[in-house]
Amino acid sequence: MNIYIIKSKVEKIKQAKQDFYDWKGIEVSPFTKKVFFYFFIHEGVKYIHKPSLQFVYSNADTYTYDVDPQLCHLQKEYETLDIFPFLESYKGTVTPKLIEYTDKFVAYEEVVGEPVVSVTEDEFWYLRAQHYVMRYTPFYNSMAYNLVRTENSIKLIDFKHFEERDTKPFFLYFYNQEHNINRLYTEQGTDLDVIHKHLELDYPSKKADVVYY
């Protein structure tokens, strides 16, 4: 983790703590060992801190309008992705129950269940249906440990991988090097080259075990 990310993370945690106190009058300690901070759990509610998640989508690994601390010097510039209207209005079943939102937070129910690293055929088609009603989809990224299987459904618990849905075929890709997971689910007849072209910049998708449904 570079110095810019570390300092930015510390600043966002401080900001989230203050923003939450200003809103609820409650002191929280939103610490995380993960590289990026954008949420914390308090009394069974997952509070997504909007400025922190916006940082992940802009300044972190992708692009920025250079903000302190100590400036990001990335060269590529992309249009900022504003997913908050989507998160605050999407009524699908793959996201947790939306509780409330403000100018600084989006609050969801905390989801408890089994982390998903493989799917059945029925689950594949269920998630595919969700994908095609979303303007922004999380499914263009590795989904390993980003989904949780509850008693009744599969829920998305990681909100930092949304991309605007385009013409790529639907797929579910699960990759985790530490646990030796590299598995790709897609439909019969799908052009795998399109999927690999998208994934191979970040993942060894061509070495994945492919499951067709």
62 pLDDT higher than 60: no
* Nearest alpha-carbon partner for 34 in 52, 21, 18: 52
Per-residue pLDDT reduced to its tens digit, 102-141: 999 999 999 999 999 999 999 999 999 999 999 999 999 9
| Residue 20 one-letter amino acid | F
Contact, 159 vs 53, CB < 8 A? yes
| Domain spans of the chain, in order of start | 3-109, 114-212
60 pLDDT higher than 60: yes
Return d(Cα 85, Cα 107) in angstroms, integer.
13
**Average pLDDT, rounded, for the chain:** 89
CB burial of residue 77 (10 Å; 0-12, 13-18, 19+)? exposed
5 pLDDT higher than 90: no
* 12: CB partners within 8 A, 6+ apart: 37, 38, 49, 51, 52, 55
Return d(Cα 77, Cα 3) in angstroms, integer.
21
Give the percent of the chain with pLDDT over 70: 89
Provide the token pair at 181.
Answer: 């997971």
pLDDT band at 63 (very low <50, low <70, confident <90, very high): very low
